[in-house]
Structure 1
């Protein structure tokens, strides 16, 4: 009976960790490199991605996302632990983030719970999605109904991907 209780308890904890961020039902094979080293400033640009039009991407062209559970005023990230493993934060690096096609006045940073600085757009913290393995993918769009690609104006784009997008939802 004790063994059964341990198994059930472990399953409940595991499921709650997976659903805390609205992420998928499986872990990524590897957490992507968010392309920001401690010495380099973050880079934001725009690219046409899928049916979403122009969206914000990082310096390597990977799609960036915002999270409905975060706040813009004041800026606050609510994605840590397992959530941040599936949705790596875009870290600021050193210096001012570099922008191309994004209004620099909308770009800022917020201190995360671990003390690192995360890049924000219009006050909202920015993230990658671990299952986007290359530039131009947007597999994280609408995951859990709370993760969204973001336009260069800092507004989330809630368009759903077309069925022919091949994003593997």
Structure 2
């Protein structure tokens, strides 16, 4: 009995798909020396497919995809970071809950806003309410606890917080979206200095 060509091709395609799901043999993903693969963004994944952060801690897929996450900083404690792990800041010239940004023009070059195409998601431990508002250029900026969120262009790697305290108007934020202003007593680094 002759097998129709369409049936044969469907069977071959199904077998290839199943083989791909099961892992095995060859992978298009580069592997590191420990045999772990890296994803398209260069983040290392372990054998179970979960991404590991810069300190080697495992994060599940939902945590890795979160718009706003928490990162422990050596000076400031737990701070809000974007999906790429870079520190987020608030700008004191913004008005909390106003759903608008006071940073435009040249300001945006130094302090790029955190923007999204979909609803923002919070990673584990983020207690700030995440909202969005439309900027003048039509992009949707994320706000935490009513404060618009920004990056600092001079922060190059996760863990950098070079913008904290810049011009006494830019501050990192805690997990609840509260800016860590030294004058408010919210910056753990400042508390240590003032108590010594």
Global fold match (TM > 0.5): yes
Matched, 1:70 2:112: no
Partner of 1:52: 76
What does 1:49-128 correspond to in 2, within 5 Å? Answer: 49-94=73-118, 96-100=119-123, 101-103=125-127, 106-128=129-151
Are the counterparts in 2 of residues 66 and 150 from structure 1 also a CA contact under 8 Å? yes
Instruction: Render the CA deviation track for 1:1-22: whole Å, top value 9, x for unaligned.
Output: xxxxxxxxxxxxxxxxxxxxxx
Partners of 2:161 and 2:151 lie apart in 1 by: 9
Partner of 1:13: none
Are the counterparts in 2 of residues 42 and 91 from structure 1 also a CA contact under 8 Å? no
User: Among 147, 152, 161, which residue is 1:129 paired with?
Assistant: 152
Higher deviation after alignment, 70-79 or 141-150:
70-79
User: Normalized against structure 2, the TM-score is what?
Assistant: 0.57
Instruction: Select the structure with the greater relative contact order (CA < 8 A; seq sep ≥ 6).
Output: 1
State the secondary structure of the residue aligned to 2:161. Answer: coil
Structure 2: where are the runs of 5+ without partners? 1-64, 190-196
Are the counterparts in 1 of residues 77 and 188 from structure 2 also a CA contact under 8 Å? no
Higher deviation after alignment, 42-51 or 117-126:
42-51
Matched, 1:152 2:146: no
User: Normalized against structure 1, the TM-score is what?
Assistant: 0.66
Partners of 2:66 and 2:140 lie apart in 1 by: 11
Are the counterparts in 2 of residues 132 and 140 from structure 1 also a CA contact under 8 Å? yes
Instruction: Render the CA deviation track for 1:19-62: whole Å, top value 9, x for unaligned.
Output: xxxxxxxxxxxxxxxxxxxxxx8611001113110000011210
Partners of 1:145 and 1:81 lie apart in 2 by: 20
Are the counterparts in 2 of residues 43 and 58 from structure 1 also a CA contact under 8 Å? yes
Aligned residue pairs: how many?
120
Q: Give the alignment's Cα RMSD to 1 decimal.
A: 1.9
Structure 1: where are the runs of 5+ without partners? 1-40, 163-169
Computing the radius of gyration from Cα coordinates, the structure with the larger value is 2
